[in-house]
Amino acid sequence: MEAFSHRSLLDIEGLTRADVERILDTAEAFLQVSRRPVRKVPTLRGKTVINLFYEASTRTRTSFELAGKRLSADVINMSVSASSVNKGETLQDTCRTLEAMHPDVIVIRHSASGAASYVASKIACSVINAGDGMHSHPTQALLDAFTIRREKGTLDNLVVTIVGDIAHSRVARSNAHLLNLFGCEVRVVGPRTLLPVAVDSLGVRVFDRLEEALEGALRGVALSIGEGIRKSGIDMLLGEMEQAKALLDPRRAPAPSLAASTGKITGERTVVDVAPLTKVVECLFDLTGFVAGAAHFLRQLAFAVGAACQSGESESSGRRLRGFRAIGPRLVS
């Protein structure tokens, strides 16, 4: 097999099928290290790894820290909240500071799409993208592929359904690109408001109903509703979605209930958990329920406007309109 020729791991689009297979094969060998009484090998002895996380993270940062230490690297976790970023230091300034320390690897997570590529262009060491904005999350996609391959023995020609907030998900994009390398049929399902513009360009099939998207699929990837959706101004969907039935309810899906643990097989389907399923809400909510909520909102709007028009007192009108705004955010903020 050809050697891995990339200095950094920035996205899946830059990898070939052979690159992915080499990474997964290497990970398979190192998995055995975590099963041994002494979980340490000297592979990265003398190397320095800096974890630079601009977003809050528990599992990802801890996983990188643990991996680095088990490979005998010197691992530094940089706390951005306690760094000079709070004094106005830019990402470019941070790159210059870190470059002067001569690290070997920088693992970065940032809320801005393209941040990892920017850092890689400014610094000489290897850069690993642990998630940048809504763009890419290559390490999570590789982990999902690793889990599926271990359970099913192959990644070739599978049918994989991704359920959830596709529009704001870097994981969905990376998974779609990786699975397409292996000839998989990738399906996405969710409310149209949570699907990106030109979603077909990801090489996926788009579904509106969960049952249809799961038909014939042996794998499912559940996405969480994160802060990105709240910041995007579409909180109006959350109230409806949180009232929906649990994801992949056994009364709606033909197979037994899918477990919340990563990669656990139930029936003939696998769920690759990319977020705590306690936070996952069903993304294909009942459209009629949403329309009913919208109709209720419009009735309240008509009532408030009508009341304001009938009243000659501006102060009274202001009170009515303020009262309307108090009930509005659930649907419009």
Query: What are the residue numbers of the active site?
Result: 59-60, 87, 109, 137
Taking the C-alpha atoms of residue 120 and residue 333, their distance in angstroms, rounded to an integer, is 37
**Residue partners of 324: CB distance under 8 A and separation at least 6:** 300, 301, 304
Taking the C-alpha atoms of residue 210 and residue 287, their distance in angstroms, rounded to an integer, is 12
One-letter amino acid for residue 91 of the chain: L
Q: From residue 169, how far is each of 243, 250, 294 by CA, in Å?
A: 22, 26, 26
Instruction: Label residue 235 exposed, middle or buried (CB < 10 Å: 0-12, 13-18, 19+).
Output: middle
Neighbour tally for 128: CB within 10 Å: 19
Neighbour tally for 193: CB within 10 Å: 13
Say if CB 107 and CB 50 are below 8 A apart: yes
**Cα–Cα–Cα angle for 192, 195, 201, nearest 5°?**
125
Say if CB 165 and CB 222 are below 8 A apart: no
Instruction: Label residue 301 exposed, middle or buried (CB < 10 Å: 0-12, 13-18, 19+).
Output: middle
